[in-house]
A and B are shown apart, each in its own frame.
Chain A
Amino acid sequence: MEAGNISRVRRVCIWRHIFMVPFVITFALAGLVFQPQPAHAVLEINITEGVVEPLPIALSQFVDGSSGLGDTARNINDVISANLIRSGLFAPIDPAAFIERIENIDLAPQFDDWRKINAQALVTGRVTLQNDGRLRTEFRLWDIIANEQMTGQQFVTNTDNWRRVAHVISDAIYERLTGEKGYFDTQIVFVEESGPKDARVKRLALMDQDGANMRYLTNGSDLVLTPRFSPSNQEITYMSYGDGFQPRVYLLNILTGERGIVGDFPGMTFSPRFSPDGQRIIMSLQTGGNTNIYTMDLRSRRTTRLTNTAAIDTGPSFSPDGERVTFESDRGGVQQIYVMSADGTNQQRISFGQGRYGTPVWSPRGDLIAFTKVVQGRFLIGVMRPDGSGERILTEGFHNEGPTWSPNGRVLMFFREIPGADGGPQIWSVDLTGRNERRVGTPTFASDPSWSPLTN
């Protein structure tokens, strides 16, 4: 427990430049005033089967434990509710229907009152201003079927940090009820687009997964494409036209703003991604008409060539164990998806459906590869197993492209183009059922999303 807390605090400090505050988390509320009952009816959402009905959950208004924190309490409630709704797995109940009004979260709720409104789970919480001026947020998740508390946690942080607290609580609820890690306390790096279609200005930008807290990482003076997070969350690799002489892969440290090129290659480098251990970058190098796949070790600067064809080999993405790489190649005539060992051996085509397949991305769970499929002038997002079986299309339309996985491997973000001279891309998400499709709000056109790993 002790060690867990320390490491959690240390990792969170990486983000101090963004949040500007230390963020201390303690688990397990002391002095619980009820007896846990034997766990018989375990409340759990099975998200593997595809959820038919979202779970009815009551989010009682967080209690203002000091005076003057009413807005903060409401804001936290709102962010949690929005997160749970967007996941497609939960249906927060309209507070107007609530019978019991929770005023003391240290007492067990009136389970009958919550059962009457068909709640299966209840979230209660309290925000308090500590003597040191910091915000303490406590919450409890109750199983209304089994009459027991499922989890209780508290978080202490700067008052400005309430939004992040709401995401961490959302993750705790999601994890406790689905048995899988959440993905709400995460960020998206993407390309923000402005200006007319024939003279587009593109800037790297960062936002929370729900679209909040957007900020720019580059100023638009150079054309930037395909940013990808490092596993540590600290760095981003992307392609930039830089001074315009040669487009190359760059590395940007989010903390320091420091950036540099990744290797001095004799041609255009592009389509970069990190290896799962963060030690290497895998990317394409174009020389003449050919494009092949290379890795570069970030410490030794040693480069290794993985493919050697007179074709276009690009879009490489490591499996989460680092043992294999998926990529796209037109060596057989048209774009198709391949898988190879991480040393470049055993290159095998896995996509055999109608049309073209590109931008393969290995799921963080390892079980699926997401891709863009182009067939009959339509652009689809789909998934298949790493052996090419089980292809499923999750969304289709005029132009959908460039999937990126949530860290728990349950949701994909991608961009969707609105056609026409005034059109442009927007970021959307879809879950693995394909039924829960939502736009991720950005103020302007946005493309090339890349989902961060879990922050905590």
Chain B
Amino acid sequence: MSYGSGPGMFRALFIVFAMLFVAACSNDGQDRLNGTLTRAEPGSAQHFVVTVGDRVFFQTDSTSLTDASKVTLDKQAEWLNKYPNYSILIEGHADERGTREYNLALGARRATSTRNYLVSRGVSASRLRTISFGKERPVAVCDDISCWSQNRRAVTVLEGQNSG
């Protein structure tokens, strides 16, 4: 899957995470979700999302990785090193409480700090590229702090497997 599939991919991802968030609120959903998750094929993109977690979150106007983020990225690096054929896109995002141009640059910084951390954990730089979406692609759309914190994120997207 290339990025060229564009908005459809975002929507699909969003649906997956909307399910995760909904699931977190209800035991029923959690069980159902876990039922699905256990069948995720090891080494698949779904497996990565479910067992590792594909995103880390940032404080307001910050690009520093929190301790929790580093734990997630350590697991990401381990997984990515285990399945070395994936090429990887790191998406940097900002919340809506900033100006458009600054947020584009801020998203780029978040993607870069995430990328650099993965490289420091042994993921080959040649597999990684970054893109910033600024505030253009929120996943949570309410208008309070809980939403904005979900939107300040860097998402590790598995783009495709190289045959080599």
A interface residues, Cβ below 8 angstroms from B:
196-202, 223, 225-226, 239, 243-247, 267-268, 270-271, 284, 286, 288-289, 291, 312, 314-315, 328, 330, 334-335, 358-359, 372, 374, 377, 399, 401-402, 417, 419-421, 423, 448
Which chain B residue has the least Cβ–Cβ distance from A417?
B96
B16 to chain A, nearest CB (A): 13
- The answer to whether the Cβ of B105 comes within 8 Å of any Cβ in the partner chain is yes
Whether the Cβ atoms of A284 and B101 lie closer than 8 Å is yes
Pick the contact of B108: A239, A243, A268, A448 (CB < 8 A).
A268
Which chain B residues numbered 124 to 155 have a C-beta less than 8 Å away from chain A?
131-132, 134, 136-143
Instruction: Specify which chain A residues have a CB less than 8 angstroms from the CB of B143 in the assembled complex.
Output: 419-421, 423
Whether the Cβ atoms of B97 and A377 lie closer than 8 Å is yes
Q: What number of A-B contacts does a CB cutoff of 8 Å give?
A: 102
In whole angstroms, what is the CA distance A401 to B14 when docked?
A: 27
B interface residues, Cβ below 8 angstroms from A:
3-4, 6-7, 10-11, 14, 61, 63, 96-102, 104-106, 108-109, 112-113, 131-132, 134, 136-143
Interface centre among A200, A244, A399 (most CB of B within 10 A): A244
Whether the Cβ atoms of A196 and B141 lie closer than 8 Å is yes
Whether the Cβ atoms of B105 and A197 lie closer than 8 Å is no
B73 to chain A, nearest CB (A): 16
Whether the Cβ atoms of A223 and B136 lie closer than 8 Å is yes
Instruction: Specify which chain B residues have a CB less than 8 angstroms from the CB of A334 in the assembled complex.
Output: 61
A433 to chain B, nearest CB (A): 24
Whether the Cβ atoms of B3 and A335 lie closer than 8 Å is no
Whether the Cβ atoms of B3 and A245 lie closer than 8 Å is yes
- A selection of 29 A-B contacts at a CB cut-off of 8 Å is A197-B138, A199-B14, A223-B136, A225-B136, A239-B104, A244-B4, A247-B104, A247-B131, A247-B132, A268-B108, A268-B131, A271-B101, A271-B104, A284-B105, A286-B108, A289-B63, A289-B109, A312-B102, A315-B99, A328-B101, A328-B102, A335-B102, A358-B99, A358-B102, A359-B100, A359-B101, A377-B97, A401-B99, A402-B99
In whole angstroms, what is the CA distance A198 to B11 when docked?
A: 8
